[in-house]
Structure 1
Amino acid sequence: MPEFSSASAYAASLPNIPDALTVPQFLLEPHRHPLSPTRPDNVPWLVDDESGKGICTEEVRQRTYNLANALHTVWNIGEDDVVCIFSPNHVDYPISIWAVHTLGAIVTHCNPSFNVEELVYQLRISQTCLIIAYSDFLPIAFAAAQKANISPNQVIVIPSTCGNAIFNAVTLDELIARGATSPRLFSECRLKPGEAKTKVAFLSFSSGTTGKPKAVSIPHYSIVSNIVQMAVHWNVIGSSSAPSVMAVGDVCLGVLPFYHIFGLIVTVHFMLFCGITLVVVPKFSFLNYLKSIIRHKVTHLYIVPPQAVLLCKHPAVQDYATSLKHVKFVLSGAAPLSGELIQRLTKVFPKAHVGQGYGLTETATTVTMFLPSQKIGTIGSSGTLLPGIVARVRKSDGSLASQGESGELIVKGPSMALGYLNNEQANKETFVDGWVHTGDEVMFKNGELYVVDRLKEIMKVKGFQVAPAELEGHLLLHPAVADVCVVGIPDEYSGELPLAYVVVDSKLQTAITNDPSAAVKLKREIAKHVSDAKVQYKWLKGGIEFIDAIPKNPSGKMVRR
C-alpha cells in the first residue's frame, strides 16, 4: 500500500528516544540527550519581555523543584492529579508545568480568554483538583472553581506586574519560597522502561474532527519524541560544514500562546531543548511585537497566518525594516499560509529561512516542516514528514492515493497522542490501530505535503479550532432560531470566520420580512447570544444570514458545502 515517509537528506534514522523519562527530566537533568546542545550557564532559558530579566539553568531547576515541593506539601499533589493552568504566557508557565510533572501529575492548559462556563467545562472533563491562574483572570477562575466544586483554597495566583488585588490567594512566588525552606517531602516521579509511553503529561483540549472540545491525552513520550524528531530534522547539533539554523544563544520570541499545542511543544519545549533563549510575551500587540524583536535581537519567529498578514501589510513594518535583519528563521503553522504571503515575508526578513509546518494536537504536535536545505520553503507546501512519521492518503473510495492524488491524511509515529479522554466514539473516528485520521484533505508531491482542504467540519480561526456543531448547539438555544448551519468563510487575516445561516422561527418570519430594521436588530441579538457565552475567536464575525431552510441530505445531515 502506498505510504509516505521523510525524504529529507537530513532525516537519518531516529536515535534512541528515552521511554522512561518525564518531560522535565528530559530537559532539566544533567544526562542530556546526545542531540541536545550544551547551554552555557550564562545563557538564559527564559526572559521576561517587559523587564528583560532572565532565568538561567540553576534557577530554572530550583524554581521547578521548590514549587513541586510546595504543591505536594500544601495540597498533596501527586500521581495523576490534574492541575489546570489558566494564564497567558509567563516565565513561570513552563516552571509550573515541570513542577506538576515532577510530581507525576498532569497539566491541563486553557485559554485565559475563556468565560466561566467554558472554563467549568474543561475543569469538569479533566477532573482538575488545583488551578494556577493569572491574577487578571481570578474572578473567572474563582467562579468556575465554585461551579466545578473546587475549593477557593485550591486556586494559586500568578500575580500580574500591575500589582492588582489578589483575592487572598497564595501566589506562585510565595509557594516557591515555601518550597525552598521546607523539608523536601515529595518523591520525584520515576518511570519504568516504556512507562513514558502511557504516562499522561497533558490533557490538551481539541475539537478533533467534530463536536465540542475533547481532552487529548498526551504522554511524556510523545513530547520527548517530537522534540527529538524536530532536532533530527533541523540537524540541531550541526557541524562546521553543515551549521544548524538552530544555535545555542539564539533568541526566540515566545508570543504564540503556551496553552496552544504549537506554542507549548514547538516554541517552549523544542526551543529550550536547542539551547535557545525564549523571550516570554504575555499578549500579542503588533507594534510591541516589532519592538520586542528588535530589543531582544530575536533570531527565531514562530507565527500564525494573522501575524504573517500584519508583518507583510502593516505600514509600521516599513519603519522597522532595517532593524529586522538579525531574524534568521521564520516558520508559520496552525493554518495554511498563501504563497503570496510567504514571498512577502522573505522581503521583510531577507536573511531568514522562511517556510511552513503542519501538525495537530492529536499528533503532539509537528508532522511536517520545510527542509533545512531550503532558504524558502516550497510555495504552498507544508514541508516534508519528520523522521519517524509515516503517512497514508486515503481517497474517498477508500483506496490509498499515490503522489499527486488527494485524500484524507492519516499518520502514525512516536509522537501520536493516546486518544481522547473518556470518549470512545471519538476515538473510533480519529485514533484507529495506531493511526491518526487528521480530517485534512492533502496530497504529496515530490515528497512534500500540500494541504488542499479540510474534510472535517472544524474551522480554523486565527489558528484556533472552532467546531460548527458547538456554535449550532448554542444558537439553537436562542428562541428566535428554528434551525441553523455554521460554516467558515475565508478571511485574509483570520484564515476563516464563522458565518451562521439561520432559519428564523415562523412566528417572526413576517416581522423581519416586512421590516428590515427588525431583521438587523434580531441579527445583533443572535450575535450577542454567541459573544456573551463564547470566547472571542468563536464569535460570528463572518456574519448572520437569514434563509428559508438549511439544505440537508436524505439522511437529514446538513450539506455544509
Structure 2
Amino acid sequence: MVFHPPSWTRKVPHIPDDVPICDFMLQDLHGRHPLGYSRDPFTCGLTKKSYSALDVVDRVDYLSRALAKEFGWHPNQGTEWDKVVAVFSVNTIDTVPLAWAVHRLNGVLTPANAAYSADELTHQLRDSKAKALFTCLPLLSTALAAAAKVGLPKERIYLLEVPEIILGGAKQPAEHKTVSYFVEEGKSLRALEKVKWSSGQGARQVAFLCYSSGTSGLPKGVMISHRNVIANVLQIATYESDWREKLIEPGNQSAYTDVVLNLLPQSHIYGLVVICHAAPFRGDQTIVLPKFDMKQFLSAIQDFRIASLFLVPPIIINMLRNKELLNKYDLSHVRGIFTGAAPLGAETAAELQKQYPKWLIRQGYGLTETCTVVCSTHPDHIFLGSSGCLLPGIEARIVSADGKEITEYDTPGELLIRSPSVVLGYLNNEKATKETFQDGWMHTGDEAVIRRSPQKAEHVFIVDRIKELIKVKGLQVAPAELEAHLLAHPAVADCTVIAVPDDSAGEVPKAFVVKSSSAGNDDAATVASIAKHVQDHKARHKWLKGGVEFIDAIPKSPSGKILRRFLRDREKELRRKAGGKL
C-alpha cells in the first residue's frame, strides 16, 4: 500500500530540471519570494553584519568570477567532478553564497562537519577528490593537517571569515586568501558566461556531496542533484503555503516572511536545505550563529525577534533544564519551534508545550538520502510525538522484515520513500547504492508506523532504527567505524558498539570489548587507554561517552554478523531494573 500526503495539501508546482540551484535561488522565475521584497537572507547573530537578497546576488557573481580565475575553471567546460570544493567551517554568512558561486561554475560543494578530526576530514577530501578547501581560522590547523595527508597544497586552502568574538584576538594569516578578498577581486573581472544546461541536466548533475553513513557502514558521499534540492525546497514551501497566507496582516498584499534561527550546522542536510535554502526562498531572514552557546542563542532570539526556532532535541532538553535563564530573556515573539535530526519524544514535547503554551511545536523527519524533509508537522495539524504528514510529491510504503506490504495503521515496518528529492546514490559505491535505492524506492532503514490523528490525518511515527546508526545530538555515528578503530588498539581482541540513552545527547556510543592477551590486569587503566584512543582520532560526538564494558564474547550469527540487538536488549533490561539510573 502506498501512503500519500493528506488531501488538504496543495500540489507541488513544476520542479525545473534545467536550472542550477544558484539560478533557482537568485532569480524570481521559479516561485521564489521577490528578491527586492525579501528579508536579508543571511545576518550574523553576533555582529549584526547582514546581506540583503540583492547583495547576495552580487556577491555570488563576484565570487564566482574570482574563483574561475583562481582555479582556471570555466562554467561550460569540464564536468562537475573537475570542480569539487570542500568547506570545513563553523556557520558563517558566506558559506551558502560560496556554495552558489561554486554552482555558478558548474561545480560541486562538499560540506564537512566542523567537529571532524584531521583523519575524518582526510577521508572526505580524498574520497571527494576536492580541488580546494575553504575553512575558518579556528579549524585551520585541522584543515592543514588533513590537506597535507591528501596532497592538497597550502595555496588551495582559503578562509571564511568568522566574528572576532570567537577568534579570541587571533588574526587572519595573510597567506590564505579569504572570501572577502575574492569578492573584491571579482568586481574588476569580466562577467562569466551563463551556464548552458539541457533539459534534465539538473536531475543528473551533482550539486552537493554530503557525507552520511547511509543505512550502514562507514561514511559515504551522498550525491545530491540540483533538482533534488529544488524539489525539497518547493515541497517544503508548498506544504506550509496555506498556513503562511493566514499570517498576512489585513491590507498587506505581500506574502508573509519570517525571521528564523540559522544555528544548526550548515554542513548537515537539515541546516543546509531546510534553513539555508527553503527559508531564503520564501523571503525569510536567517540569523546565523557559528555554534551553540546558550546565552548567545537566547540573546539572538531576543535581539532579532526570531519567530521560528529550528532546533534538535538536545537543545530543547537544554532549554527545559535552564528555565530560570530563559525567563531572563524576552522570547514573547517566538511563534514556535521545528525539531528534527532525531526524534523528540511526546513527553518532552508536552513539557515544552506546558512551559510555552502559545508555541507551535513541530517535528520533521528526513535523511541526507532524501535531501531532507519527508514528513513534517503542519501548523494546523499538530500531533505531539509524530513526525507529521507526508509532504506534497512524496509517497511512502511500510514493509515488514520479510518483505510483506503493510497496509494497516499502527503496524511497524521499514519506511520506504519515493520522491523527486531522493538523491542519485552514493559516490563510487555501487553496492550501497543498490542496497538503499531499489525500484524507485529509497529504503530508509528506519522502522515506522502510520497513525491517524484526532483530525483523521495520517501521521508518520518513527518507532526505532533498523539500521545500526547512533544519533548523538542529531549527528550520525556508525558503529562499524568505531569498531574498526577500536580493533587497532592492542588491548582489544574483539568489540562492538551500541547506542545507550543520554539525557543531553539523546544517545551516546558504548563499547563492549573482549580483551586481548596483551591487555594488563588494571581494567581502569585499560578503559582509559581505549577511550583516549578514540578521543585522539575521532570527533567529539563519536567519543565513548556511554563507557567501555569488558565481556567474554561478542554475540554473532553463524555467518559472523554482530548481533548488537542482544546487547541493546541486555542494556535496556539493566537500565529498567536500575530505574533508568544505570
What TM-score range do you get, normalising by the shorter chain?
over 0.9
* Aligned pair partner of 2:542 in 538, 542, 546: 538
Contact 1:37 1:248 in 2 (8 A): no
2:14 matched to 1:6? no
1:37-63 per-residue CA deviation (whole Å, 9 max, x = no partner) reads 335457312111111122112211111
* Aligned pair partner of 1:319 in 311, 324, 327: 327
CA gap of 1:396–1:30, structure 2 versus 1, over 3 A, is: closer
Alignment of 1:141-540 (within 5 A): 141-160=143-162, 161=164, 162=167, 163-166=170-173, 168-184=175-191, 186-235=192-241, 238-239=244-245, 248-320=256-328, 323-374=330-381, 377-402=382-407, 403-446=409-452, 447-508=458-519, 511-512=520-521, 518-540=522-544
Q: Displacement, 1:354?
A: 1.0
Contact 1:159 1:166 in 2 (8 A): no
What is the alpha-carbon distance in structure 2 between the residues aligned to residue 272 and residue 360 of structure 1? 21
Q: Show the counterpart of 2:580.
A: none
Q: Displacement, 1:337?
A: 0.6
Most deviating of 206-215 and 43-52: 43-52
What is the alpha-carbon distance in structure 2 between the residues aligned to residue 138 and residue 478 of structure 1? 29
1:103-161 per-residue CA deviation (whole Å, 9 max, x = no partner) reads 10000000122121111100011110011111221222222112112121111112332
CA gap of 1:347–1:191, structure 2 versus 1, over 3 A, is: farther
Q: Show the counterpart of 1:550.
A: 554
What is the alpha-carbon distance in structure 1 between the residues aligned to residue 37 and residue 3 of structure 2? 42
What is the alpha-carbon distance in structure 1 between the residues aligned to residue 61 and residue 347 of structure 2? 47
> Any stretches of 5+ residues in structure 1 without a counterpart?
513-517
What is the alpha-carbon distance in structure 2 between the residues aligned to residue 42 and residue 470 of structure 1? 44
What SS does the aligned partner of 2:241 have? coil
Q: Show the counterpart of 1:67.
A: 63
Letter in 2 for 1:179: G
Q: Show the counterpart of 2:18.
A: 20
What is the alpha-carbon distance in structure 1 between the residues aligned to residue 399 and residue 89 of structure 2? 39
Contact 2:309 2:337 in 1 (8 A): yes
Letter in 1 for 2:543: W
CA gap of 1:334–1:182, structure 2 versus 1, over 3 A, is: same
Letter in 2 for 1:313: R
Alignment of 1:6-155 (within 5 A): 6-9=5-8, 11-31=9-29, 33-34=30-31, 36-41=32-37, 43-78=39-74, 79-80=79-80, 81-155=83-157
What SS does the aligned partner of 2:564 have? coil
Letter in 2 for 1:293: I
Contact 1:41 1:56 in 2 (8 A): no
CA gap of 1:106–1:237, structure 2 versus 1, over 3 A, is: farther
What SS does the aligned partner of 1:470 have? helix
What is the alpha-carbon distance in structure 2 between the residues aligned to residue 370 and residue 504 of structure 1? 47
How many residues were matched structurally?
545
Most deviating of 298-307 and 345-354: 345-354
> Any stretches of 5+ residues in structure 2 without a counterpart?
453-457, 566-582
Letter in 1 for 2:393: G
What SS does the aligned partner of 1:336 have? coil
What SS does the aligned partner of 1:441 have? strand
What is the alpha-carbon distance in structure 2 between the residues aligned to residue 241 and residue 292 of structure 1? 23
Contact 2:235 2:393 in 1 (8 A): yes
What is the alpha-carbon distance in structure 2 between the residues aligned to residue 260 and residue 285 of structure 1? 18
What is the alpha-carbon distance in structure 1 between the residues aligned to residue 299 and residue 190 of structure 2? 44
CA gap of 1:287–1:128, structure 2 versus 1, over 3 A, is: same
Most deviating of 533-542 and 310-319: 310-319
Percent of matched pairs sharing the same residue: 38
What SS does the aligned partner of 2:552 have? coil
1:384-405 per-residue CA deviation (whole Å, 9 max, x = no partner) reads 1101111111101210112221
Contact 2:394 2:417 in 1 (8 A): yes
CA gap of 1:241–1:188, structure 2 versus 1, over 3 A, is: closer
1:322-342 per-residue CA deviation (whole Å, 9 max, x = no partner) reads x21211131110011111111
Give TM-score scaled by structure 1 length: 0.94
Contact 1:209 1:457 in 2 (8 A): yes
What SS does the aligned partner of 1:4 have? coil
Q: Show the counterpart of 2:571.
A: none
What is the alpha-carbon distance in structure 2 between the residues aligned to residue 241 and residue 231 of structure 1? 15
CA gap of 1:99–1:399, structure 2 versus 1, over 3 A, is: same
Letter in 1 for 2:14: N
Contact 2:266 2:272 in 1 (8 A): yes
What is the alpha-carbon distance in structure 1 between the residues aligned to residue 248 and residue 418 of structure 2? 30
Most deviating of 74-83 and 451-460: 74-83
Contact 1:47 1:54 in 2 (8 A): yes
1:277-299 per-residue CA deviation (whole Å, 9 max, x = no partner) reads 01110011112211111111000
What SS does the aligned partner of 1:368 have? strand
Contact 2:247 2:256 in 1 (8 A): no
Q: Displacement, 1:481?
A: 0.1
Give TM-score scaled by structure 2 length: 0.90
Q: Displacement, 1:345?
A: 2.0
What is the alpha-carbon distance in structure 1 between the residues aligned to residue 420 and residue 543 of structure 2? 36
What is the alpha-carbon distance in structure 1 between the residues aligned to residue 118 and residue 414 of structure 2? 36
What is the alpha-carbon distance in structure 1 between the residues aligned to residue 246 and residue 398 of structure 2? 38
Q: Show the counterpart of 1:515.
A: none
RMSD (CA atoms) = 1.9
Contact 1:305 1:495 in 2 (8 A): yes
What SS does the aligned partner of 2:485 have? helix
What is the alpha-carbon distance in structure 2 between the residues aligned to residue 240 and residue 221 of structure 1? 29
What SS does the aligned partner of 2:328 have? helix
Letter in 1 for 2:99: I
